Amino acid sequence: MDMNLDINTLRSVATLVCFVAFLGIVRWAWSRRQTIAFEEAAQLPFADEFAQPKSIKSASPRQVNVGVEHE
């Protein structure tokens, strides 16, 4: 058996490995166990909407005077 390993064989093996990895990622992403974690992660951008905004009076002077140069 001749085991010549040329660049085309290497490319074919790399393509096959990447395709199998892709299928593994797709299977993991669509698995039922990940649904709850993904649902929670999808709501993270909206988590700040219900928090109380910080009033300007309670902010430190450095936070209020952003962009103002002091002498």
* Mean local confidence (pLDDT), 6-23: 96
Q: For residue 9, is it within any domain?
A: yes
- If one counts the domains in the chain, the total is 1
Q: For residue 63, is it within any domain?
A: no
CB under 8 A, 24+ apart: contacts of 31-34: none
Q: For residue 65, is it within any domain?
A: no
Q: For residue 54, is it within any domain?
A: no
Q: How far is CA 50 from the centre of its chain?
A: 23
* Predicted model pTM: 0.52
Q: For residue 62, is it within any domain?
A: no
For residues 54 and 48, the answer to whether their CB atoms sit within 8 Å is no
Q: For residue 31, is it within any domain?
A: yes
Q: For residue 67, is it within any domain?
A: no
The pLDDT of residue 58 is 54
Boundaries of domain holding 30: 1-48
Q: For residue 69, is it within any domain?
A: no
- List, for residues 28-64, the tens digit of each pLDDT value: 998 888 888 889 999 988 887 665 555 555 555 555 5
The pLDDT of residue 45 is 87
* Mean local confidence (pLDDT), 2-28: 91
For residues 28 and 34, the answer to whether their CB atoms sit within 8 Å is yes
Length of the chain: 71
